[in-house]
């Protein structure tokens, strides 16, 4: 799996624009740790990622961003979940686009981008379940 490539392709297919990978590092040159934040439209998407190489940190950040696009909340978000089937949900761009448009349309004026994304993910899962589709087993 190429998480970074998958994220770029999915973001572009959804009309979100190309994700930006913001990289920082710390530590001495021989023990550098890289930290990456994925941003779409200037807003962070996911929890970011860290690694011993820039490539590992970008992969971890892209994985986190993909999970958000799949409707999974970020770790620091406390949320009550309906018991939805687990696994990797298929991506149907048209259905996901409709879920994003609907979530945006019905979002409160003070809703954050992450709130809209979570609502869109929930709507997407519900639409797929209503259509008889569920996640692929892991």
pLDDT in tens, 44-58: 888 899 999 999 999
Q: What's the pTM?
A: 0.55
For 3-70, CATH number out of 3.30.1490.100, 3.30.380.10, 3.30.160.20, 3.40.50.300 equals 3.30.160.20
3-class SS of residue 13: helix
CA distance 83 to 6: 27
| Average pLDDT of span 114-126 | 81
CA distance 38 to 69: 12
pLDDT tens digits, residue range 13-42?
787 888 999 999 998 888 899 999 999 888
- For residue 66, pLDDT over 70 is answered with yes
Domains of the chain, residue spans: 3-70, 87-137
């Amino acid at each position: 799996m190429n998480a970074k490539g998958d994220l770029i392709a999915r973001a572009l297919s959804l009309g979100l624009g190309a994700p930006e990978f913001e990289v920082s590092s710390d530590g001495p040159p021989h023990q550098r740790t890289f930290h990456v934040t994925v941003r779409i439209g200037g807003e962070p998407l996911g929890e970011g990622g860290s690694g011993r190489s820039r490539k590992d940190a970008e992969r971890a950040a892209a994985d986190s961003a993909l999970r958000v696009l799949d409707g999974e909340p970020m770790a620091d978000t406390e949320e009550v979940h309906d018991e939805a089937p687990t696994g990797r949900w298929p991506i149907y761009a048209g259905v996901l686009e409709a879920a994003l448009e609907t979530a945006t349309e019905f979002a409160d004026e003070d809703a954050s981008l992450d709130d809209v994304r979570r609502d869109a993910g929930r709507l997407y899962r519900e639409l797929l379940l209503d259509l008889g589709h569920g996640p692929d087993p892991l």
